[in-house]
């Protein structure tokens, strides 16, 4: 089985694939203070609870946007699963041309999302990722990564609001009953949920106006299921999109014989 690891600014996602099927999806906090041994204990326990033996993992692939954690997670995989993970980085075969002015400046997660999004859309696509930042990644009809948009994430914006406005207290991120709130809680929920829905629709409309081909829109990320139903743009939500992209990239880097993926350079 394949272990796919997505190291984000907030969470680390571990996906276990049996062929193309994602059979387990685990998450833990992206704690910079944890050592490889601490992560190893945590991951081993999470997998044991799901009946996954470490010996069944015979390949691994990793994407990270947190450089201080990259080597830690690589060490975790090597020690726990006895295989060297393929690290998505410049030089790894993705099957996707990067049209960014400096391809090395594109986050690995955005390329991985683009690969999976194009596989889903089979044409022009906008991938909206509701992560620490809210990102919009555009892929052309030929499967090239064109570029995108980066906006402050929902939690970042909400935390800033609660921190800077002394009379506004933290609220649950949930859909309010109405747009016009009649309590501070309802008003903030409306601003966050409907405000970000409007941001998504507005950005997607401008992207489509700028491009000369149709684009489908799908979403991923922790708050995608909250925001997507309030938009007119998002057609589909895929919680495991990044893990799927990692699997596809791993398969594209498999040698003609054997199952061990090459180490990225």
Residues marked active site are found at 109
- For 16-60, give the DSSP string: EEETTEEEEEEEEE--TT--HHHHHHHHHHHHHHTT--GGG--EE
Q: What separation, in Å, do the N-terminal and C-terminal C-alpha atoms of the chain show?
A: 23
Distance between CA atoms of residues 121 and 129, nearest Å: 16
Residue 172 neighbours by CB distance under 10 Å:
7
Closest CA to 60 of 43, 45, 78, 42: 78
Q: Nearest 5°: phi and psi at 39?
A: -60, -40
Distance between CA atoms of residues 122 and 116, nearest Å: 10
Distance between CA atoms of residues 185 and 172, nearest Å: 8
* β-strand partners of 21: 18
Closest CA to 218 of 204, 208, 199: 204
Closest CA to 16 of 8, 5, 7, 32: 5
């Amino acid at each position: 089985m394949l272990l796919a690891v997505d190291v984000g600014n907030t969470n680390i996602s571990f996906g276990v694939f049996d062929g193309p099927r994602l059979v387990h999806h685990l998450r833990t906090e992206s704690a910079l203070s944890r050592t490889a041994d601490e992560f190893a204990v945590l991951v081993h326990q999470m997998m044991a609870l799901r009946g996954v033996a470490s010996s069944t993992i015979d390949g691994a692939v990793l994407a990270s946007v947190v450089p201080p954690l990259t080597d830690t997670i690589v060490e975790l995989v090597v020690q726990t699963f006895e295989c060297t993970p393929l690290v998505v980085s410049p030089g790894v075969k993705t099957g996707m041309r990067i049209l960014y002015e400096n391809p090395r400046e594109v986050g690995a997660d955005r390329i991985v999302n683009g690969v999976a999004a194009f596989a889903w859309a089979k044409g022009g696509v906008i991938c909206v990722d509701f992560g620490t930042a809210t990102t919009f990644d555009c892929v052309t009809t030929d499967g090239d990564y064109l570029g995108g948009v980066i906006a402050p994430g929902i939690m970042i914006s909400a935390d800033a609001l609660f921190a800077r406005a002394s009379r506004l207290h933290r609220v649950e991120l949930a859909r309010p009953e109405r747009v016009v709130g009649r309590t501070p809680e309802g008003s903030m929920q409306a601003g966050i949920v409907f405000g970000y829905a409007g941001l998504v629709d507005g950005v997607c409309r401008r992207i489509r106006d700028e491009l000369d081909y149709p684009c489908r829109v799908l979403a991923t990320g922790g708050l995608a299921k909250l925001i997507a139903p309030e938009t007119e743009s998002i057609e589909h939500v895929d919680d495991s999109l990044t893990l799927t992209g990692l699997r596809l990239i791993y398969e594209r880097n498999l040698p003609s014989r054997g199952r061990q993926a090459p180490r990225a350079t």
